[in-house]
């Protein structure tokens, strides 16, 4: 490997210097959403709001509001716009009528306040 190089390591972005010094980006080393560079944001989904698709999910995530730090990462990664910010306190909640249980919110939450259970039918 060259003196300073970037490579993928277990699906994480890693910057390596020399043969043994590597720094990998994880959810703990990423900037809070307020510090991210502004880019294009799609505020409304295409057709997902027209169809309630939550009834066929396998996993049901639920936000622990006592631990939520209002970072908005769950809202940003939700592909179905099932997560909305509450006006009264700025915390986020999941509309289970639209949540498909993909668990992107659970994986992205920096404080791990979105546990999930297996959906019972």
Q: Tens digits of per-residue pLDDT, 99-112?
A: 999 999 999 999 99
pTM over 0.85: no
Nearest to 111 by CA among 87, 91, 81: 91
- What pLDDT sits at residue 27? 55
Distance CA 74, CA 51 (A): 21
Angle at 11 between CA 94 and CA 59, to 5 degrees: 30
In this predicted model, what pLDDT tens digit does every residue of 8-18 receive, in sequence order?
A: 444 456 666 66
Specify the pLDDT at position 42. 62
Topology at the third CATH level for domain 48-118: Alpha-Beta Plaits (3.30.70)
How many angstroms separate the CA atoms of 92 and 59, rounded?
Answer: 18
pLDDT tens readout for residues 17-54: 666 666 666 655 655 665 666 666 666 656 666 777 77
Residue intervals of the chain classified under CATH 3.30.70.20 are: 48-118
**What ranges make up the beta strands (E) of the chain?**
4-9, 12-17, 21-24, 59-61, 83-85, 92-94, 116-118
- Looking at residue 52, its pLDDT comes to 78
E strands, 12-98, are 12-17, 21-24, 59-61, 83-85, 92-94
Q: What integer pLDDT is reported at residue 22 of this predicted model?
A: 67
Reading the block at residue 32, the tokens are: 């809070």
Map tokens 């944001």 to a residue: 41
């Amino acid at each position: 490997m060259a003196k300073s190089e970037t490579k993928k390591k277990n699906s994480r972005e890693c910057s390596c210097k020399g043969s043994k010094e590597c720094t990998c980006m994880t959810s703990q080393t990423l900037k809070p959403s307020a510090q991210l560079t502004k880019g294009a944001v799609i505020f409304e989904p295409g057709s997902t709001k027209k169809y309630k698709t939550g009834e066929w999910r396998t996993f049901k995530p639920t936000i622990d509001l006592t631990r939520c730090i209002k970072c908005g990462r769950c809202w940003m990664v939700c592909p179905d716009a099932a997560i909305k910010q509450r006006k009264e306190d700025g915390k986020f909640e999941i509309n289970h009528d639209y949540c498909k249980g993909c668990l992107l919110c659970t994986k992205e939450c920096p404080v791990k306040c979105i546990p999930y259970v297996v959906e019972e039918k």
